[in-house]
C-alpha cells in the first residue's frame, strides 16, 4: 500500500497556459515513488527545467523550473506533470493505476511513440520525453469508461461491434484513426491484450477474479 501522495502546483517561469491547471509532486514524494516503481522500469528521479507542449497544456508551450521527472528504462523521461483532473487524483488513490500506466506506456513506446512523446526545448530537447498526462487520460478511458461494458462482452466479434461505436482502440498514427479495429494487425491485437490486462488489474483490486 502506497503512502498518501499530495499533488502540488509546479514552479513556473512564464507560460501562455493557465498555470492553475497543472500539478506535480514534491521532491520527497518523487523519490518515494521512484523506489516504489523501480520494478516497472523507473530508474531514478531528476529535476529538470521543462519547456514543452503536450496534453497537459492543450499543446501550448509551457515553461517550468525544477520539474520532478523519472528516468525510465531505455533512456526515456517521464515528467511528473499532471492535469488538475479526477483521473490524476485516482493515480494516487488506486494501487493498480501506476502499474497499469507503465503497461500502457510500454505499448505506446513500442507501437505509437509519436503519440506518447512530446517535443521539448532546453535541457531536455535531445531526450525522449513522455506525455504523461495523455497516457493518464488514455488509462482513464480504459479503466473508467470501458472496463464495465467490456467486462460484459463475450467474444471478439462483440468487442469489434462495440469498438466501432466507442473507438477505444487507438488506431493510426498521430491523432488520426486509421480504420476500425483489425485483429489481423499486430498493433491492434496487442493493444487489445493490454486493455484487457489493465481491466483485469482493476477488477482484481476490487476483489473480482
Tell me what the mean pLDDT of segment 10-37 comes to.
82
Three-class SS of residue 178? Answer: coil
Residue 91 has pLDDT above 70, yes or no: yes
Give the number of other CB atoms < 10 A from CB of residue 43. Answer: 15
**Structure confidence at residue 183 as a pLDDT band (50, 70, 90):** confident
Three-class SS of residue 101? Answer: helix
Q: Which residue has the higher pLDDT, 158 or 15?
A: 158
**In whole angstroms, what separates CA 195 from the centre of its chain?**
13
pLDDT of residue 131: 97
- 28 near 79, Cβ under 8 Å? no
State the pTM of this model: 0.90
Whose CA is closest to 143, among 100, 111, 112, 181? 100
Which of 41-45, 113-117, 152-156 reaches the highest mean pLDDT? 41-45
- What is the tens place of the pLDDT at every residue in 42-70? 999 999 999 988 898 777 888 888 899 99
Residue 139 has pLDDT above 90, yes or no: yes
Amino acid at each position: 500500500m502506497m503512502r498518501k501522495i499530495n499533488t502540488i502546483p509546479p514552479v513556473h517561469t512564464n507560460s501562455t497556459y493557465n498555470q492553475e491547471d497543472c500539478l506535480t509532486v514534491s521532491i520527497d514524494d518523487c523519490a518515494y515513488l521512484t523506489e516504489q516503481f523501480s520494478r516497472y522500469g523507473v530508474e531514478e528521479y531528476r529535476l529538470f527545467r521543462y519547456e514543452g507542449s503536450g496534453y497537459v497544456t492543450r499543446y501550448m508551450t509551457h515553461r517550468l523550473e525544477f520539474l520532478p521527472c523519472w528516468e525510465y528504462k531505455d533512456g526515456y523521461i517521464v515528467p511528473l506533470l499532471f492535469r488538475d483532473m479526477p483521473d490524476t487524483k485516482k493515480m494516487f488513490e488506486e494501487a493498480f493505476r501506476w502499474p497499469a500506466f507503465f503497461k500502457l506506456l510500454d505499448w505506446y513506446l513500442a507501437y505509437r511513440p509519436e503519440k506518447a512523446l512530446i517535443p521539448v526545448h532546453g535541457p531536455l530537447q535531445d531526450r525522449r520525453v513522455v506525455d504523461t498526462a495523455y497516457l493518464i487520460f488514455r488509462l482513464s478511458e480504459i479503466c473508467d469508461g470501458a472496463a464495465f461494458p467490456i467486462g460484459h462482452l463475450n467474444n471478439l466479434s462483440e468487442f469489434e461491434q462495440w469498438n466501432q461505436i466507442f473507438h477505444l482502440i487507438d488506431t493510426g498514427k498521430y491523432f488520426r484513426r486509421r480504420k476500425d479495429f483489425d485483429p489481423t494487425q499486430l498493433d491492434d491485437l496487442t493493444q487489445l491484450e493490454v486493455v484487457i490486462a489493465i481491466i483485469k488489474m482493476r477488477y482484481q483490486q476490487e476483489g473480482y477474479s
